[in-house]
Amino acid sequence: LKPPLSLSSASPQVSAYPASVPPRLCSSALARARASGDRGSEATAAMAASTAARVRLASLVALCCATLAGAGSGDCRHPLFTTHWAGKSDIIHLSSEPSMQYDLSLCPMYNGREACCNTAFEAEQTIAFDRWVAHFKLVKENLHNFQMEMEALKVSRAYVEVSFIEKALFDKAFASFNPVLDTFGTCFDTLLEFMAGVLCFACDPQWRGKVVLDDHCLSAIALRIHDSQNDDLWGSCRQFGAAADDLVARIVDSSLAKSVQSRFEDLRPFASRIGVAQYMADNSLVPMRPPAEQVLRVEPEEGVFQEEGSRRLQATSSGAEMLLFPVRDGRASAFECSIFPRMALPSGAAGVLGEAAARSLWIVLSSLVAGSVALATSLQPP
């Protein structure tokens, strides 16, 4: 960082020492209170001095963040990809500084411009994306295993001995699995598109305006994502979310279903638009998913960080709002996101279509036969 004088000149609106709490005044008051032996005044003065110190520290941090956010040339020290910063010899890493790219295959939208990722780093992006594919496949597999164990339970002695009401609750819970397994594909493919877009975000040297940093300007606590991307997520997950919400309620109602030993996935985030958006916002903070399977619980240290960080970045982004479009970028990437089966036609609709097609074929064949008979009759000699 530059000396404090240069920082002040770069951002004159930020004061490192707020006039409302002069540091010398607080120190003098504390010294007088200690000398007089007044414990009440001493506690008050000590609290004021502590508050002044915290305010000064927060002001200096905000000053540093304002200076960092004002860097217009961009850099490749992306906080979401710290393990792959340049300078490490044991792993494939990002470029040390933005450079022109022409041969990127996974994130072609960054070709013809300065970017931080390179063709070698695409191997790491592929590994990370494959881990996300494996993660969502495991979610689907756990749901299927739970359903199979419930099916085995239906022919067990425990099922025979429960009351009629409990059998009805269990049967309803078991039947609720089919809508979930029919609709999850479209949703999970869109989640993969989202993560593909976040992985391509590693290429962006202008990441500072799209990331909310912590008070030390070291770690990312949120991404600034355009709201249309949450609409895309919810549009793809709405049916799955409704089916999952019903399934969770049915499982909770049945004591016999809750006795199943298989892991039951937490599907509550998919019950609402806000839940899906928050679920993917949390996942977006760990795009380079670790190989070991674990439940990811990434939350800001305090809820106010997100709001205050957003205001701080907005105040220093020279009026241009910079937002991230992960679903759009994922769809424009070369990551294979069509992994899961999409929802098939309901059996009732398929039957109706089959009957209609048979009737149409019968009408066409009848017309052809009638036409052939009429043509043969007209060609006979008188």
Per residue in 232-250, pLDDT (tens digit) is 999 999 999 999 999 999 9
For the chain, the distance separating the N- and C-terminal CA atoms, rounded to the nearest angstrom, is 109
- At 370 the pLDDT is 54
- Distance CA(161)–CA(93), nearest Å, equals 61
- Whole-Å CA distances, 232 to 31, 204, 225, 226, 260: 60, 22, 12, 11, 34
Q: Are 7 and 26 in contact (CB under 8 A)?
A: no
Give the pLDDT of residue 219: 86
Name the residue with tokens 């939350």: 299
**Shortest CA distance to 192 belongs to which of 263, 283, 112, 111?**
283
3-state secondary structure of 242: helix
Residue 282, token pair as written in the block: 């949390």
The dihedrals phi and psi of 69, each to the nearest 5 degrees, come to -65, -20
The pLDDT, as a whole number, for residue 350 is: 41
Q: Which residues pair with 225 in a beta bridge?
A: 324
CA atoms within 13 A on the CB side of 347: 3
- pLDDT for 29 equals 53
User: In which element (H, E) is residue 100 found?
Assistant: strand 99-101
Largest Cα–Cα separation, the chain: 138
- The token pair that represents 92 in the structure block: 């494939």
Residue type, 257: A
- Long-range contacts of 133-140, Cβ-Cβ distance < 8 Å, separation of 24 or more: 133/192, 133/339, 135/289, 135/293, 136/188, 136/191, 136/192, 136/339, 136/340, 137/339, 138/293, 139/188, 139/265, 140/181, 140/184, 140/188, 140/340
Residue type, 358: A
d(CA 58, CA 68): 15
| 191 vs 287: CA distance, rounded Å | 12
pLDDT beneath 50, residues of the chain: 1-21, 23-25, 55, 58-64, 66-71, 296-320, 345-357, 359-360, 363-364, 373
Question: How much is the pLDDT for 290?
Answer: 79
Q: Is the dihedral of CA 272, 275, 281, 287 positive or negative?
A: negative
Q: Residue 173: is it exposed, middle or buried by C-beta count within 10 angstroms (0-12/13-18/19+)?
A: buried
What are the start-end ranges of the H helices in the chain? Answer: 4-10, 23-36, 39-69, 122-153, 157-161, 164-175, 177-200, 227-253, 273-283, 303-315, 326-332, 347-379
Nearest to 226 by CA among 251, 238, 209: 209
Q: Which residues pair with 324 in a beta bridge?
A: 225
Radius of gyration of the chain (CA): 31
- Separation between Cα atoms, residue 242 and residue 235, nearest integer Å: 12
